[in-house]
């Protein structure tokens, strides 16, 4: 089984344009974690520098957030070839399921989530 840092990868949860999110087990806790992993490519150094800076900013901001509807960030690591955020894993339906025009959440639910 693959590991990322001290975390054991259980399975992939999703993939976006710049990051992949994995469900992981932590040696420090019985609770599963979500690991958001960004890999820096060697083919474009300028893009990797930008990605590294964006990731560091995201980690800094995410650690300050404390809200029941935002996953808590436990750890952020930036290495030479990759970086990751270890976050609280929240089991549920991805918001992507509600982004199609025929599947949008009712306005009162959206307002409730925002507040």
- pLDDT tier at 2 (50, 70, 90 boundaries)? very high
pLDDT band of 109, cuts 50, 70, 90: confident
Mean pLDDT to the nearest integer, 25-42: 88
| Helical H segments across 1-115, by residue range | 45-64, 107-114
Checking DSSP bridges between strand 73-78 and strand 33-39, what pairing results, if any?
Answer: unpaired
Domains of the chain, by residue range, sit at: 3-114
* % the chain with pLDDT above 90: 30
Confidence of residue 45 (pLDDT cuts 50, 70, 90): low
Fold for domain 3-114?
Phosphorylase Kinase; domain 1 (3.30.200)
Q: Give me the pLDDT at residue 42, please.
A: 61
Q: State the pTM of this model.
A: 0.75
- Work out the number of other CB atoms within 10 angstroms of the CB of residue 33: 22
Average pLDDT value for residue range 38-46:
68
As a whole number of angstroms, the distance between CA 91 and CA 34 comes to 10
Both tokens of residue 66? 């404390």
Give, rounded to a whole angstrom, the gap between the first and last alpha carbons of the chain. 40
pLDDT tens-place string over residues 48-77:
677 777 777 777 787 788 888 788 888 888
Given a cut of 80, whether residue 20 has pLDDT beyond it is yes
């Amino acid at each position: 089984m693959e590991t990322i840092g001290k975390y054991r990868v259980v399975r992939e949860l999703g993939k976006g344009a710049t990051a992949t999110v994995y469900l992981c087990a932590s040696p420090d806790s019985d609770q599963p974690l979500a690991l958001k992993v960004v890999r820096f490519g060697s083919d474009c150094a300028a893009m990797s520098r930008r990605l590294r800076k964006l990731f560091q900013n995201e980690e800094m901001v995410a650690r300050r957030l404390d809200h029941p509807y935002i996953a808590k960030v436990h750890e952020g690591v930036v290495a030479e070839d990759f970086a990751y955020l270890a976050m609280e894993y929240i089991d549920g339906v991805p918001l992507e399921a509600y982004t199609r025009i025929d599947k949008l959440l009712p306005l009162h639910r959206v307002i409730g989530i925002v507040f």
